[in-house]
Amino acid sequence: MLQLLTAVWPPLSKLAREEGGRQKITQYTRIATIVLCVFQATLLAQSLADPGQNYLMAGLQDAIDRLGGRPLVPNYGLGFVITSVITITAGTMLMMWLGEQITERGIGNGVSILICVNIVSDLPGALIQVWQTFVGSDKADPKSAFTLVLLMGFMIIVIAGVIALTQATRRIAITYAKRVVGRKVYGGQTQYLPLKINYSGVMPIIFAQAILLFPSTILASIFKDVNWVQKLALYMSSGWVYYVVSAFLIFFFSYFWVATMFQPTQISEDLKKSGGYVPGIRPGKPTADFLDFTMSRLTFAGAIFLTGLYVMPGIVSSLMQISSSAAQFFGGTSLLILVGVVLDVMRQVETHLPGSCIN
């Protein structure tokens, strides 16, 4: 959120260019994290009093009913809410500090690595659930085992496709004019400007989920006893309408992120100042228009990729009758974050290997 505001809000943009401005923006990020954590922790603590009133905890309420219907929180009150909020917020601050320490002293983005570890920790349980569904159940037969093999092969194909499209770029040839300085000749060589197909990364999916789930969660928490509000919240978080609206929001935020972060005019001016030009394209505004047009087409392809990846877990879970925790490894935000973090860590590890500087 702060990264996006830095690009669109002039005061933050000016602050980011000043000396010590990045440190102030980091401090603002910490404060915003704590405020959001307190708000979400309060809603979570309130929903624990009656999980049946929260559509996100429907499975928990079913488990409580099977165990005799005893309340999840026997002595619910203001003290429980305050204690829960303090505990969750303190844990969030600890994880935020730990992520910053990993970033400063380790390899890669610390917070992303923590999220990645959390995703990987679900893998053993997901594998056990899939195994019990297709092999360990009483209804298992040779066809079920064959389906399991096909499912594992499909997961490998999806992961390979995500890796390929995450790293895919369109290389724009940049030629630099020759310049004679004294007795030396500079320029004359051709370099390439890489434009990523998935330029916005996982951000469009995150913004789409926040816009759809955040309001529905608030409504469901505030109007616990209103039946039609609960149905509306459930309708906004599942079903074909949810996926259609999510696809529209993913396309919108993909283009919005590129329009905000990608600056073709600035790139064109920098190329003109350094004597570089795109072969066949005049410097200045024609180059900026060419880069903008090329990036728009790449963004369309990237948005289709993100949309397909986002709906893949729901399709797999519905067709194969597996849990959502197992289906998350077939696409969605979890797989995209997992692949991105692993690739980033691998790139940074290579920079520390002997001989990497020579190469």
pLDDT of 66 reads 66
My answer on whether 136 and 89 are in the same domain is no
Which of 255, 178, 207, 274 is CA-nearest to residue 1?
207
My answer on whether 288 and 184 are in the same domain is yes
pLDDT of 87 reads 94
Please return the burial class of 239, using the count of CB atoms within 10 Å of its CB with bins 0-12, 13-18 and 19+. exposed
Are residues 51 and 72 in contact, defined by beta-carbon separation less than 8 angstroms?
Answer: yes
Are residues 335 and 205 in contact, defined by beta-carbon separation less than 8 angstroms?
Answer: no
Which of these three, 91, 106, 121, is where a domain ends?
Answer: 106
My answer on whether 98 and 118 are in the same domain is no
3-class SS letters over 204-217: HHHHHHHHHHHHHH
φ/ψ of residue 295, rounded to 5: -70, -30
My answer on whether 144 and 277 are in the same domain is yes
Angle at CA 136, nearest 5°, toward 135 and 139? 75
My answer on whether 186 and 99 are in the same domain is no
Q: Evaluate whether residue 164 is within a structural domain.
A: yes
What b/e string do you get for 53-84 counting C-beta neighbours within 10 Å, with b at 16 or more? bbbbbeeebeebeeeeeeebeeeeeeebbeeb
My answer on whether 51 and 116 are in the same domain is no
Which of these three, 106, 133, 163, is where a domain ends?
Answer: 106
Distance of CA 286 to the CA centre of its chain: 34
Q: Evaluate whether residue 354 is within a structural domain.
A: yes
Q: Evaluate whether residue 307 is within a structural domain.
A: yes
Q: Evaluate whether residue 85 is within a structural domain.
A: yes
Q: Evaluate whether residue 145 is within a structural domain.
A: yes
φ/ψ of residue 62, rounded to 5: -60, -40
Angle at CA 82, nearest 5°, toward 79 and 86? 140
My answer on whether 189 and 281 are in the same domain is yes
Q: Identify the residue whose tokens are 């505990």.
A: 87
My answer on whether 102 and 115 are in the same domain is no
Strands in 190-196's sheet, in edge-to-edge order, are: 190-196, 169-176, 276-277
CA distance 93 to 22: 20
pLDDT of 341 reads 83
Q: Evaluate whether residue 83 is within a structural domain.
A: yes
Per-residue pLDDT of the chain (359 residues; tens, 9 = 90+): 777 777 777 788 788 777 777 788 888 888 888 998 998 888 888 877 776 666 556 566 666 666 666 777 777 788 888 999 999 999 999 998 888 888 887 777 788 888 888 888 888 888 888 887 777 766 777 777 788 888 888 888 888 888 888 888 888 888 877 666 666 655 567 788 888 888 888 888 888 887 877 777 777 666 666 677 667 777 766 777 788 888 888 999 889 888 888 888 888 888 888 778 888 888 888 889 999 999 999 999 989 988 888 888 888 887 877 777 778 777 777 888 888 888 888 887 777 776 544 44
pLDDT of 13 reads 79
My answer on whether 45 and 99 are in the same domain is yes
pLDDT of 117 reads 85
**Pairing of the two strands 184-186 and 169-176:** unpaired
Are residues 202 and 210 in contact, defined by beta-carbon separation less than 8 angstroms?
Answer: no
Which of these three, 106, 134, 156, is where a domain ends?
Answer: 106
Q: Evaluate whether residue 253 is within a structural domain.
A: no
Distance of CA 216 to the CA centre of its chain: 20
Q: Which residues contact 229 (CB under 8 A, 6 or more apart)?
A: 219, 220, 223
Q: Evaluate whether residue 50 is within a structural domain.
A: yes
Give me the CATH number covering residue 352: 1.10.3370.10
My answer on whether 91 and 132 are in the same domain is no
Please return the burial class of 142, using the count of CB atoms within 10 Å of its CB with bins 0-12, 13-18 and 19+. exposed
For residue 27, what are the CA distances in angstroms to 2, 14, 63, 100, 207?
11, 16, 42, 12, 22
My answer on whether 131 and 45 are in the same domain is no
My answer on whether 11 and 157 are in the same domain is no
**Structural domain range at position 15:** 1-106
Q: Quote the number of domains for the chain.
A: 2
**Pairing of the two strands 169-176 and 276-277:** antiparallel
